[in-house]
A and B are shown apart, each in its own frame.
Chain A
């Protein structure tokens, strides 16, 4: 079953704790992305990666960290420094850049309790 998979679907975290969201793809895509989706604010780019061992900050990177040790995986860590972490997080991947199509995961809803 090919595609891009995010896990878990729902995640609860206590305030002050770090938490890692998983994103895996078996599409052999080079580029991967993390977005945050909030009502009325659309998709805001957190981090993106062009190739293994390389990633860049997006527009709202503060309080988040990522790694890209394998082509298939791009985990996102929401740290305790993120002031408002409760949100819906989407991961995407695509072959490269330009006009290539991005494929999205089903998302992870993180709630800080």
Chain B
């Protein structure tokens, strides 16, 4: 079955420390992967997607098909990075890609 796994419910780091939020997926097709972020009292919003291969707010994520992973990384955490982070997978069905599933989320807490 298709699945997105985020093993850490909570990740607490100090400001300036490196951050890695883990995401593994289970899907036999060609995956489309995303990271979404929810800041306190704000809507869930897109952070980045693997197809763009870009850095957003200092975050990057690389798709590793061999390890079926899409970990989110940032070299130096900032306090404003504190938020809930969700990894998401878009699934293909008969050419009409539609289904979008999420992991359980990781709460990142950056301590001063």
Range class of the A interface residue count: 20 to 34
| B46→A43 contact, CB < 8 A | no
B100 interface residue (CB < 8 Å to A): yes
Interfacial residues of chain A within 60-113, with CB under 8 A of chain B in the complex: 90, 92, 94, 96-99, 101-102, 104-107
The docked-state distance in angstroms from the alpha carbon of A42 to that of B84 is 10
Q: Which residues of A contact B6 (CB under 8 A)?
A: 42
Range class of the B interface residue count: 20 to 34
Main secondary structure of the interface of B (DSSP, over half): loop
- New contact pairs (19) apart from A101-B34, A102-B100, CB-CB < 8 Å: A42-B6, A42-B103, A43-B44, A43-B105, A45-B99, A48-B99, A48-B100, A50-B96, A50-B98, A94-B100, A96-B97, A97-B32, A97-B96, A97-B98, A97-B99, A98-B32, A98-B92, A105-B43, A107-B43
